[in-house]
Amino acid sequence: MYPFRKILCPTDFSEPADSALQVAREMAHAMHAELLLLNVVVPVAIPVAVEIPVGAAVTPEVTLRHAREQAEQMIGAMAETLQTTGLAVRGLVVDGDPADAIVAAAEREHADLVVIATHGRTGWRRLVFGSVAEQVIRHATCPVLTIHEPRAAHTGL
């Protein structure tokens, strides 16, 4: 199992996720591991189709397709940038519940390690939003390294 040969790093393109990516990138470099970047597109429920000014209907399918296209572009750009540093990098975009999708991707890709950001939610925010990282830790079959968000990003709300 050690050293790690395949490192999965989920990202939601946030600052904490960037911090986790930096750690995952450094580990992948040091261990000559493949780095898998993962973004999970969460389906959004829209109760009815809404007309927008250009006349195209906004439906859950259209919204999901647009979100997936954006995520694929962003993951592709990240992977391309990291490949220029000599890393073996692949970008993955999947739909679904973030925690379930991360655990499934880790198993499907035979990841040796998941490096994931924690957003530092506490109190009512944690009760309302839950913790994707905590769910991944509980259900992943490989080790999970959590990276806390930078101190400057904490708001205390």
Query: What's the CA gap between 96 and 10, in Å, rounded?
Result: 13
Euclidean distance between CA atoms 26 and 46, whole angstroms: 40
Q: For each of the domains in the chain, give its residue range(s) and CATH number, in order of start.
A: 6-153 (3.40.50.620)
| pLDDT tens by residue, the chain, 157 residues | 578 999 999 999 999 999 999 999 999 999 999 999 999 999 876 554 444 445 556 677 888 888 899 999 999 999 999 999 999 999 999 999 999 999 999 999 999 999 999 876 555 555 544 589 999 999 999 999 999 876 655 555 4
Strands 57-58 and 88-95: unpaired
How many degrees, rounded to 5, is the angle at CA 96 between CA 94 and CA 97?
A: 125
Name the pTM for this structure: 0.83
Residue 115 near residue 7, CB atoms below 8 Å: yes
